[in-house]
Amino acid sequence: MAVPTHQAISIGKYLFKQKLLRRKRYPLNLMLEPLFRCNLACPGCGKIQYPHDILKKHISVEDALNAANECGAPMVTIPGGEPLIHPQIEQIVEGLLKQKRYVILCTNALLLERNLHKFKPNKRFTFSVHMDGYGEHHDKCVDREGTYEIAVRAIQAAIKAGHRVITNTTVFEGHDIKNLAQLFDHMMELGIEGLTISPGFSYEKAPDQEHFLNRQKTHRLFQTLLDYKRQHNKKWDFSNSPFYMDFLEGKRDYECTPWGMPTYNVFGWQKPCYLLTQEGYAKTFQEYMESTKFEQYGTGRNEKCANCMTHCGYEPTAVTDGMSSFGKMIEIGKATASAAR
């Protein structure tokens, strides 16, 4: 099951509490970027283009745990850069688990096998392995031969050691559906617990600007992919919420809620979201919530947001919508059950 029952119940309780408190804006998943440095240089990456002195920096364990406490989100995702390069990453994870948060550590898996001993299996802890395609397609996306095979071995080792593993796939223009299908089939065979998928965001700083999807192309690609899944009765267990998948197919229209997945990194709290890196920073979470001009962002309001459909802007909207009424909760339950059949 892509989202375990205990996690769904815990997040449901958190959302219900926010409703009772009549909060209009609240965080759901903290994006905690411990560093921007990486051992790969993917052409679609918008995180590794910082100058050398910034790439050398990382946040301290204390700062990471304070940020999570300050924000209060029940989930923490640790992207990067490559988090396994951080010298105290296991202490950050351990501290977040002690705070009773659900923690997802994203990794390209190159260092995973040799670092597995640092992490104890925990029902609240998940490795999310970056897999952008099957076989050579993945190697091409990350610009290094042999990466797919290394990631597969690392996934097998992590599952064998008792860890929960999911994958995350960023889709770009021209991605062959059959290649994606091969990837998802292979990952499910390996025993991963969920597939996370998102269209690539057109980072201004990414070297490859040609292959980002616009909204119409995103709708077409996801319609084709999900039609393929339905027609071939594929048992792909997506970690994304069913309503976000509808959004990607163009069946639902949402506005982004960037405060749902706020970002903390070496610069502080990034305004307004994980993706836009030139809009300023706040020193505290409270300052981020109070001083960010959220109304100036989102599709139709800001040209930088024109084609954005990424999970970090729209997944919190979809999750909150799914919990907004009893009818929608039943709809989500039915969608989840039919996807698992």
Q: Among all residues, whose Cβ is closest to ligand SF4?
A: 313
**Sign of the CA dihedral with 275 first, then 279, 281, and 287 last:** negative
Contact between 199 and ligand SF4 by CB under 6 A: the answer reads: no
Shortest CA distance to 103 belongs to which of 80, 126, 86? 126
* Tokens 């065979």, residue located: 189
CB contact at 8 A, 166 and 196: yes
Contact between 206 and ligand SF4 by CB under 6 A: the answer reads: no
Segment near ligand SF4 (CB under 6 A); pick from 22-30, 44-52, 121-129, 172-180: 44-52
Cβ distance to ligand SF4 smaller for residue 47 or 124: 47
Least Å distance between CB 99 and ligand SF4? Answer: 25
Least Å distance between CB 30 and ligand SF4? Answer: 15
CB contact at 8 A, 243 and 10: no
Range 263-322, binding ligand SF4 (CB under 6 A): 272-273, 275-276, 297-299, 305, 308, 310, 312-313
Contact between 41 and ligand SF4 by CB under 6 A: the answer reads: yes
Contact between 256 and ligand SF4 by CB under 6 A: the answer reads: yes
Distances (CA, A) of 218 to 14, 81, 131, 172, 309: 31, 25, 19, 9, 8
Q: What DSSP designation does 304 have?
A: G
Strand order across the beta sheet in which 281-282 lies: 194-199, 164-171, 125-130, 102-107, 75-78, 29-32, 263-265, 268-270, 281-282
Range 207-236, binding ligand SF4 (CB under 6 A): none
- The β-bridge partners of 269 are 264, 282
Contact between 330 and ligand SF4 by CB under 6 A: the answer reads: no
Q: Could you list the residues that contact ligand SF4 (CB under 6 A)? A: 38, 40-42, 45, 47-48, 80-82, 108, 130, 142, 256, 258, 272-273, 275-276, 297-299, 305, 308, 310, 312-313
